[in-house]
Amino acid sequence: MFILVSLAYFAFMIGFERHKLANGLKVIVHRDEGTPMVTTNILYDAGSRDEDPEATGFAHLFEHLMFEGTQDIPLFDVPVMMAGGENNAFTNNDLTNYYITLPANNLETAFWLESDRMRGLDLAEERLANQKSVVTEEFRQRYINQPYGDLLLLLRPLAYRVHPYRWPAIGMDISHIEKADSISARRFYDRFYTPSNAILSVAGNVDPDVVFRLAEKWFGAVPPGDRPERKLPVEPGQTERRELTVHRPVPAPHLIMAFHMGSRESRDFYILDLLTDILAGCDSARFPDILVRKKELFSEADIYLSGEADPGLVIFSGRLRDGIDVRKAEEAVRSEFERLTAERVTAAELDKARNRYESHRLMSYISASNKAFSLAYHEVLGDAEGINREHEQYMSVTAEEIASTAGFTFRSGNCSVIYYLPEKR
Partner 1 sequence: MRDSAIKGAPEIITPSAGDTSLPEPVMLGNGVPVYMAGNGTVDLLRIEFVFPAGQVMEEVHLAASTASAMLTEGTIDHDATTINDLIDSTGAALTHAADKDTAGLVTVTLTRKLDDVMALACEVLFSPTFPENEFRMLTDRRLQAFLTSRQRTSVIAREAFYEALCGSASPYGRITTEDDYRSLTTGDLREFHRKHYRPENMYVTVAGSEPWKALPVLERHFSGNGTGKWKKPPLPSPILDTTEPGKVFRDVPNSVQSTVRMGWKGITRNHPDYQALQVATMILGGYFGSRLMRSIREEKGYTYGIGAVAGAFHGIGYITIMTDVANAYRDETLDEIRKEVEKLRTGEVSNEEMALVRNHMMGELARLFDGPFSVADAIRGIIDYEAGADYYTRFADTVKTITPARIMEIFNKYFNPDEAFGIIAGSR
Q: Rule CB under 8 A: which of 147-206 touch partner 1?
A: 147-148
Is residue 13 within the footprint of partner 1 (CB under 8 A)?
Answer: no
The DSSP symbol for 287 reads I
- The residues near 50 (Cβ < 8 Å, ≥ 6 apart) are 59, 164, 192, 228, 230
Strand partners, 128: none
Task: Tell me if 345 sits within 8 A of 296, measured CB to CB.
Answer: no
Least distance from partner 1 to the Cβ atom of residue 421, Å: 14
Q: Which one among 138, 265, 390, 401 touches partner 1, defined by CB under 8 A?
A: 138
Q: Which one among 20, 267, 293, 327 touches partner 1, defined by CB under 8 A?
A: 293
Q: Which one among 108, 150, 173, 181 touches partner 1, defined by CB under 8 A?
A: 108
Q: Which one among 153, 154, 250, 421 touches partner 1, defined by CB under 8 A?
A: 250
Is residue 289 within the footprint of partner 1 (CB under 8 A)?
Answer: yes
Q: Which one among 156, 163, 352, 378 touches partner 1, defined by CB under 8 A?
A: 352
| Measured distance CA(47)–CA(169) in Å, rounded | 7
Angle value at C-alpha 61, between 174 and 256, nearest 5 degrees:
55
Is residue 36 within the footprint of partner 1 (CB under 8 A)?
Answer: yes
Is residue 323 within the footprint of partner 1 (CB under 8 A)?
Answer: no
Least distance from partner 1 to the Cβ atom of residue 424, Å: 15
Q: Minimal CA–CA distance to 44: which of 227, 186, 211?
A: 227
Q: Determine which helix (DSSP H) or strand (DSSP E) holds 39, and give its type and residue range.
A: strand 37-44
Is residue 279 within the footprint of partner 1 (CB under 8 A)?
Answer: no
| Measured distance CA(292)–CA(294) in Å, rounded | 6
Is residue 112 within the footprint of partner 1 (CB under 8 A)?
Answer: yes
| Measured distance CA(74)–CA(68) in Å, rounded | 7
Residue number, 230 or 360, with CB nearest to partner 1: 360
Is residue 398 within the footprint of partner 1 (CB under 8 A)?
Answer: no
Is residue 245 within the footprint of partner 1 (CB under 8 A)?
Answer: no
Contact stretch for partner 1 (CB under 8 A) within 8-16, 17-25, 390-398, 410-418: 8-16
> How far are the Cα atoms of 230, 236, 256, 304, 376 from residue 311, in angstroms, in the given order?
15, 11, 19, 14, 20
Is residue 370 within the footprint of partner 1 (CB under 8 A)?
Answer: no
Phi, psi of 415, rounded to the nearest 5 degrees? -110, 135
Could you give the 3-state DSSP secondary structure of residue 284?
coil
Q: Which one among 96, 109, 201, 306 touches partner 1, defined by CB under 8 A?
A: 109
Is residue 282 within the footprint of partner 1 (CB under 8 A)?
Answer: yes
Contact stretch for partner 1 (CB under 8 A) within 19-27, 53-61, 84-92, 239-247: 84-92
Is residue 37 within the footprint of partner 1 (CB under 8 A)?
Answer: yes
Contact stretch for partner 1 (CB under 8 A) within 91-99, 156-164, 250-258, 306-314: 250-258
| Measured distance CA(216)–CA(313) in Å, rounded | 40
Burial category of 201 from C-beta neighbours within 10 Å (exposed 0-12, middle 13-18, buried 19 and up)? buried
Phi, psi of 8, rounded to the nearest 5 degrees? -60, -40
Least distance from partner 1 to the Cβ atom of residue 372, Å: 14
Contact stretch for partner 1 (CB under 8 A) within 15-23, 123-131, 191-199, 339-347: 123-131
Is residue 140 within the footprint of partner 1 (CB under 8 A)?
Answer: yes
Q: Which one among 190, 351, 392, 400 touches partner 1, defined by CB under 8 A?
A: 351
- The residues near 188 (Cβ < 8 Å, ≥ 6 apart) are 46, 58, 59, 62
Q: Which one among 9, 24, 86, 394 touches partner 1, defined by CB under 8 A?
A: 86
Is residue 396 within the footprint of partner 1 (CB under 8 A)?
Answer: no
Q: Minimal CA–CA distance to 43: which of 387, 389, 378?
A: 378
Is residue 220 within the footprint of partner 1 (CB under 8 A)?
Answer: no
User: CB count, 10 Å around CB of 92?
Assistant: 18
Residue number, 67 or 212, with CB nearest to partner 1: 67
Is residue 284 within the footprint of partner 1 (CB under 8 A)?
Answer: yes
Angle between helices 326-342 and 399-409 (to 10 degrees): 140
Residue number, 11 or 342, with CB nearest to partner 1: 11
Is residue 346 within the footprint of partner 1 (CB under 8 A)?
Answer: no
- The residues near 289 (Cβ < 8 Å, ≥ 6 apart) are 283
Is residue 210 within the footprint of partner 1 (CB under 8 A)?
Answer: no
| Beta strand residue intervals within 229-329, DSSP E | 242-248, 254-260, 298-305, 313-320
- The residues near 334 (Cβ < 8 Å, ≥ 6 apart) are 410
Site size with partner 1, rule: CB under 8 A? 80
Is residue 322 within the footprint of partner 1 (CB under 8 A)?
Answer: yes
Contact stretch for partner 1 (CB under 8 A) within 232-240, 332-340, 353-361, 380-388: 353-361
